[in-house]
């Protein structure tokens, strides 16, 4: 009798352990995304939409994480935490390869493949990452500089709202080369009010402004220009897109928006990992998503897709 009871208890325990194992497996994360950009930023909300759509389309479990502010120490900790969860893949942005390199290499050493996206096109291969999804930042900056030079610009301001982000440094460096004239780099915080004040203080000495993020520095710079009554006399261009800057472009108040298609930057790495998990395939090099240029001539066509979170 005692033996039979023990057998039943043993079988019950086995069944319970089996259920626990299956439950844990069912909630396991396939791909963890670690970004330096917060999902409440207009730019990064679109990138996260790309991640979410791909995870749904590919039927895999994903998790999007980011530090509360631009913080490389915190981001490195998030990558380390992702490694400890042993996902099948990790997607990262790479704004500072020196600060994040140790954590990235630890992920690869642990046998977890890593794909970078958005920032890091010049540095990903050095860390052992096989594929990067994004645009080459320096060349995109060169293109913006050439357009501003063609528009007649002589003295320019390059507004960097995220000092320490190497990708943004490269954008300004490329812009300086393509522009050919005088370029001053203005470092600011990522507070739109502070950016507007900083730009307003510089308007007397420039005829051209390039900002490195539409939703933050772009819209703030536009407000500064409008408040000073210099719309049209000071040429404004920006990297990336936001609803306000798209409307301004359609109205002819902005020369161009450099579109790197951040929705694709979120979507494609997940699609890559979905195929990797099934077939072991992995692209090599940069999978280009930009740059493209949204101008007053084509802005109205882009607006409807931006309103739905795809551009």
Domain with CATH 3.40.50.2300 in the chain: 10-135+261-289, 137-259
Torsion on CA atoms 238, 239, 242, 247, rounded to nearest 10: 40
- For the entire predicted model, the pTM comes to 0.79
Neighbours of 59 (CB within 10 A): 8
pLDDT (tens digit per residue) in 185-239? 999 998 999 999 999 999 999 999 999 999 889 999 999 999 999 999 999 999 9
Which homologous superfamily does the CATH classification assign to the domain defined by 10-135+261-289?
Answer: Response regulator (3.40.50.2300)
At residue 29 the predicted structure's pLDDT band, cuts being 50, 70 and 90, is confident
Instruction: Average the pLDDT over each of 39-53, 103-117, 146-160, 170-184 and give the range with the smallest value.
Output: 39-53
**Ramachandran region of residue 172, left (φ > 0), alpha (ψ -120 to 50) or beta?**
alpha
What is the chain's Cα-based Rg? 23
Beta bridge pairs of residue 64: 33
Mean pLDDT across the stretch 104-119? Answer: 97
How far is residue 167's CA from residue 126's CA, in Å, rounded to a whole number?
Answer: 15
At residue 11 the predicted structure's pLDDT band, cuts being 50, 70 and 90, is low
Question: Do 240 and 215 contact (CB within 8 A), yes or no?
Answer: yes
Architecture of domain 137-259: 3-Layer(aba) Sandwich (3.40)
């Amino acid at each position: 009798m005692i033996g039979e009871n023990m057998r039943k208890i043993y079988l019950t325990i086995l069944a319970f352990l089996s259920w626990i194992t299956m439950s844990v497996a069912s909630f396991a994360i396939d791909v963890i995304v670690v970004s330096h950009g917060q999902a409440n930023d207009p730019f990064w909300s679109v990138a996260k939409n790309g991640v979410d759509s791909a995870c749904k389309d590919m039927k895999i479990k994903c998790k999007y994480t980011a530090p509360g502010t631009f913080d490389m120490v915190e981001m490195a900790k998030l990558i380390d935490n992702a490694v400890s969860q042993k996902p099948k893949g990790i997607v990262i942005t790479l704004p500072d390869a020196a600060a994040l390199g140790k954590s990235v290499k630890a992920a690869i050493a642990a046998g977890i493949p890593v794909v970078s996206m958005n920032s890091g096109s010049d540095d990903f291969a050095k860390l052992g990452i096989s594929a990067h999804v994004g645009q080459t930042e320096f060349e995109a900056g060169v293109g913006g500089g050439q357009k501003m030079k063609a528009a007649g610009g002589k003295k320019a301001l390059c507004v960097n709202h995220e000092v320490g982000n190497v990708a943004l440094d490269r954008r300004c460096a490329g812009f300086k080369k393509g522009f050919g004239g005088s370029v001053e780099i203005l470092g600011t915080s990522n507070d739109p009010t502070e950016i507007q004040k900083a730009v307003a203080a510089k308007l007397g000495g420039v005829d051209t402004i390039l900002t490195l993020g539409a939703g933050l520095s772009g819209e703030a710079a536009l407000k500064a220009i409008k408040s000073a009554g210099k719309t049209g006399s000071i040429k404004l261009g920006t990297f990336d897109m936001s609803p306000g800057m798209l409307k301004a472009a359609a109205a002819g108040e902005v020369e161009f928006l450099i579109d790197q298609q951040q929705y694709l930057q979120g979507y494609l790495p997940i699609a890559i990992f979905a195929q990797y998990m099934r077939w072991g395939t992995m692209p090599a090099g940069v999978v280009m998503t930009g740059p493209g240029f949204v101008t007053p001539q084509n802005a109205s066509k882009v607006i409807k897709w931006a309103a739905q979170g795809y551009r």
